[in-house]
Structure 1
């Protein structure tokens, strides 16, 4: 079975939180402060702790490791904190990381965490006065400890103020996400040691999601402890005076007889390469003990990152949601190369990024190619350049070719397809200079060499190439695979042409039409097809698969309704295949108005339903914009406005599904500005319905202003558009236009202008063409 992002430990209730909007809203030129607790409840799976934009360290509190709700280590409704660990995943549906837990306490030393229901049974602590802001976190623990956290790129900084008397710091190297059965123990080797200079160092190898990943750390303390004790497996205490311990589940306790005499500061450098890397990272990022200076520096970096978009109008909550979404769109991918440029390659070797280059991890590409990477091409062009160069290098180095879901030097292969090609094809289409040809041999191998090393994400490629589809009686999730492989072929065909391989480009371009072979035009649905060419007869579009086994699916985190609209690159081909504009528009209407029923075996990812459209997951997040391709952009405008209002809240459960390393947030950012990239490779944006009266975007050295005067909750429709003062009749705009800067002005209305964008010549491009 294809590895999925989800542990189906609990079902997820979905609902639309429609809130009344005031008739008028005060304007604000100052960007709203983000609410870092948005997404920490519900199924958002975000964390509130300290990080810097795309940083290596995510220093955050952990409240649980045993539930799907705590994939990030934190759940807002929990009432006790385990401690503070240095690495976290933002918004994912599988948990990992949570490396190097530090537990400050003024009570008796306890080596086991206890339970959420009975925190007194372990080192858990109830808490209060929690505060989170970009680059900084603080909380009061029930033992009287005041904890503060901040970060640099590669080091976490702690400041603990203890009450009078004795206190201690527990460093728990056994802390990690809930264990799962498998061939390896979850931690198969670990070590802890205290050096003569008082630096605590350690490492462990973890087999959780990213199998066999390593973490190293070097930790220093502003005050030397009176003594340190080490504990091996089964909490076995080591002899007095020991300077280290090896094993699997290890802990160290630093004892302070008068902990309350002065704050205890901790600074911890980490590395995914080796111990020397952790030390070097700490030395580079910790040249002093001034916690407040580090906090100010982190805050200043976030201020610059969040200042790229300023909005006026909307409600105060909507401005906060926008700022929070922009924040969550810039926490991943995460830095993985050390200060000297070394990083763990996907081939198991250590590589060094070239001067000026950087390597990254936590590429949630099945999700983020859709909106996150396109957003970054606008608001963070320098970061985009770093990511593109890194994607090219790591694609060439990986035995699996194009990246899928790499995490700290391990290709998890999670989800389907090889969507690492999409940000590359998009970047080339947008004119970002890079050595794209260097990635082509690895892309060609994944595309054409069916004996090449494989992962679950690309099963059935041989059938796909020979039959034109992945057969449902041979390979799991066959319908989604066929369509997503076709999209990757579309992106790869562009890269083949850049690399000077026109014959391969033509083959890929032709093969990118394979989506047709799993869309049954007779019923107008994506439908499983068997190896003999027959369709699944007892078809029901709400079902996930034709087999009775709950683990066999014909779709990936979707059902027949949602998979019908997976096609992103050949929209006009899909429209024609389904019978033309009128039938396609009616089918879209049906998607949004069908009963929101799901089968009992549906994963919790299928959430945020409007009819059968699921906004809480990625497969059809572009579907609201498809009305523009049949000349009905007013329906896009109404639906996008509804989704912006109903699917996002200024609350912990304010993201309707997993944020998925910023994809859900990036969808809101772009859609609230008034446009969205249905096909990122096309380098064009389809208009929706702007949420604010004015937005100013800093695009590197240029500026883009988006105006929607008198916009309000009762004016979701676009009556007219001007670009730099001239009438604009198209329902879309090219990236090159927006990226060049200018003024995009929407005239909003209470009633739809059905003529706007109706003409064939005004409809968006797809597959390199327009319907005209």
Structure 2
């Protein structure tokens, strides 16, 4: 069984302006704080990377706690070293490849425990600075470390005090999982070439089982000597040029390390050492660290310039910039400069000229807001991602993407939500060969003999009975509803591929959510194979069996699962008794006691009543009031969530950022709208947080969002104008927004119940108006 993302790990500050960027800062580009999310359970990292870059060069403080899935946690007192790959905001840890430790004194080959840094090569630290594309810290050994990056290379600059020093390269460094009986690293090697280039690779069986990483590393100064260490930290014979094993290391000694800084540049590749070396040659043909830093900061200045805001508080502007930064970290580049990458069939493939392959698709999370946000601010990137998802869908033995990481389909979470960004892009007019993905999508949808991972268990029963029975498959209630949503998305792709009969079948099957929502009680509820419902039912509980893997909901309880439906809102409203009954149920959802059972996962966080903002399943729920003509309740709730769930401090994200999903929710909601159903290509209005926002929406067009009369105590929309004309709807289409123009909200301290009340003004759902 593939556990959920938390079970897999159980037990175990300002943008520096560069020349030419000063004008952008004065136009309202706020400065992100990269430490936001590095505390609490945000699971972000503060190190150097580029937007969607392959390399994430960042400090690691610990690898033995769920809090350090990214390798870093704010407040830890020591740094182990700097590794080249990291995950941002995930609920499972992996990566942390090619750890580099600059230090002085006796050689220590183990990091030692967090509680006792003196026992190993850990170092206390001070004067930590993190900016987009750049990181700096002072280590207790006297070393000043700086980091920056290109897309595929990490750059280090170390300044040492007088005297001898050494740099450790540790290929045994990784996120630990003490429950695994087999070695997490089953092969690794290091070597030094005649030109001094150090190369190496390892195979890791952590989360992405069997993934490989290769690297090529060069130094600006030749070390006095290089010593290799094999398994058990056995020192290799003097003069050894290579070492192989499971946990291998190398120490680069400098008899006198002071003087000119030592610069390291390291290229990585998932394909082979040849690819890593080629990436290094292509992106590291000089030793000018500051040149790389300026280029990295320039790339980030452009990316962050996509949205400029004025108004709000200084902290809110910082949160906005930090969220926009975090929403552009993943998916991560995965193809080498020659176009090669490892496909989900584990074979080496090559993208067409001008194309790119990506990894780190946290699709259970990011289909909701990250991908929709990118369709607004980075349509060219979306085109690149869509082309890649189509290719990888065709290559994967499982079909639609679920949670691919480093060429491995982890199958984490439930459903096959890779169909959603594809259907969304198709609905929004992004040209691509969607038909090329259809055969693989059809297999996942209709071929019940096709190989399963846990994410797609019970497909046959779902098709035959109309739901996944709770006495046959765990997390059955959530599965039924999420499979139904994927059917809805896939029906659009079937139609685009000319498979009209399949489109009809999928559209019909997308109504299966009804079979796990009991209209008699107005709640999603476990249902058994004989058709009976679980009794006695309590919506606060997680399911009908005590073992965690038999919970009936995915990181949710009965309350939260009741509102999972994103694509057939009017069907759900009718199923639950009409507008008044549905509105009352929403009221109860947001006002119920915020109690949870003892066995609830910590992912259910950020409670407002039983709504949990710290996790993804219900992040659209506050916007559902618009569908019953009460958008003023959405406005009040969204403003509350924007101000209570996000803060400009390390613990400022209420739950895991999940590759930018929590952040993207903030960005879109702060602009004043949110995609309840991304495939519908429409956005439901909330309450804009800032007085004015300017959004670059591609092709030189600009969207301006104004909130006249806005203020902390004025969250209610009185009226809306679009492109100078009155707008009575409580929503707007993607096609309208990307035209550019001014979306003007007039705000007030009291609700205007008339706005958006008329049925003709309510948002569309299931391809139909209210």
Following TM superposition, by how much is the alpha carbon of 1:180 offset from its aligned partner in structure 2, in angstroms? 3.8
Of stretches 59-68 and 537-546 in structure 1, the one that deviates more from structure 2 is 537-546
- The match for 1:23 is none
Aligned residues: 756
* Residue 521 of structure 2 is aligned to residue 526 of structure 1: no
Distance in structure 1 (CA, Å) of the matches to 2:8 and 2:57:
27
Instruction: Spell out the pairing of 1:204-603 with structure 2 (5 A cutoff).
Output: 204-603=202-601
* Residue 134 of structure 2 is aligned to residue 106 of structure 1: no
CA offset digits 1:188-222 (Å, max 9, x no partner): 00000000000000000000000000000000000
Could you list the structure 1 runs, at least 4 aligned residues long, displaced by more than 3 angstroms after superposition: 7-11, 180-184
- The match for 1:5 is 5
Distance in structure 1 (CA, Å) of the matches to 2:160 and 2:682:
55
Instruction: Spell out the pairing of 1:716-735 with structure 2 (5 A cutoff).
Output: 716-735=715-734
Distance in structure 2 (CA, Å) of the matches to 1:396 and 1:722:
44
- The match for 1:16 is none
Secondary structure of the structure 2 residue equivalent to 1:624: helix
Distance in structure 2 (CA, Å) of the matches to 1:753 and 1:241:
79
Distance in structure 2 (CA, Å) of the matches to 1:183 and 1:101:
24
Distance in structure 2 (CA, Å) of the matches to 1:321 and 1:692:
12
Secondary structure of the structure 1 residue equivalent to 2:125: strand
Secondary structure of the structure 2 residue equivalent to 1:261: coil
Q: TM-score, normalised by structure 1?
A: 0.97
Secondary structure of the structure 1 residue equivalent to 2:432: coil
Secondary structure of the structure 2 residue equivalent to 1:708: strand
Distance in structure 2 (CA, Å) of the matches to 1:427 and 1:286:
35
Q: Is the 8 A contact 1:720 1:747 kept in 2?
A: yes
Distance in structure 2 (CA, Å) of the matches to 1:46 and 1:329:
11
Q: Is the 8 A contact 1:696 1:703 kept in 2?
A: yes
Instruction: Spell out the pairing of 1:611-626 with structure 2 (5 A cutoff).
Output: 611-626=609-624
Secondary structure of the structure 1 residue equivalent to 2:425: helix
- The match for 2:758 is 759
Distance in structure 1 (CA, Å) of the matches to 2:8 and 2:541:
17
Distance 1:190 1:419, change over 3 A: same
What runs of 5+ residues in structure 1 fail to find an aligned partner? 12-26
Secondary structure of the structure 2 residue equivalent to 1:259: coil
Q: TM-score, normalised by structure 2?
A: 0.97
CA offset digits 1:591-645 (Å, max 9, x no partner): 1000000011111100000000000000000000000000000000000000000
* Residue 76 of structure 2 is aligned to residue 65 of structure 1: no
Secondary structure of the structure 1 residue equivalent to 2:210: strand
Higher RCO (Cα < 8 Å, 6 or more apart) = 1
Following TM superposition, by how much is the alpha carbon of 1:28 offset from its aligned partner in structure 2, in angstroms? 7.2
Secondary structure of the structure 2 residue equivalent to 1:103: strand
Following TM superposition, by how much is the alpha carbon of 1:9 offset from its aligned partner in structure 2, in angstroms? 6.8
Secondary structure of the structure 2 residue equivalent to 1:453: coil
Q: Is the 8 A contact 1:677 1:686 kept in 2?
A: yes
147, 150, 172: which is aligned to 1:152? 150
- The match for 1:74 is 72
Q: Is the 8 A contact 2:324 2:667 kept in 1?
A: yes
Distance in structure 1 (CA, Å) of the matches to 2:178 and 2:90:
17
Q: Is the 8 A contact 1:28 1:313 kept in 2?
A: no
- The match for 2:708 is 709
CA offset digits 1:34-59 (Å, max 9, x no partner): 00000000000000000000000000
39, 48, 51: which is aligned to 2:37? 39
- The match for 2:647 is 649
- The match for 1:667 is 665
CA offset digits 1:710-753 (Å, max 9, x no partner): 31101100000000010000000000000111110000000000
Q: Is the 8 A contact 1:8 1:603 kept in 2?
A: no
Distance in structure 1 (CA, Å) of the matches to 2:271 and 2:219:
23
Distance in structure 1 (CA, Å) of the matches to 2:654 and 2:205:
30
Distance in structure 2 (CA, Å) of the matches to 1:2 and 1:290:
46
Distance in structure 2 (CA, Å) of the matches to 1:28 and 1:762:
39
Distance in structure 2 (CA, Å) of the matches to 1:739 and 1:369:
19
Distance in structure 2 (CA, Å) of the matches to 1:349 and 1:7:
29
Following TM superposition, by how much is the alpha carbon of 1:552 offset from its aligned partner in structure 2, in angstroms? 1.5
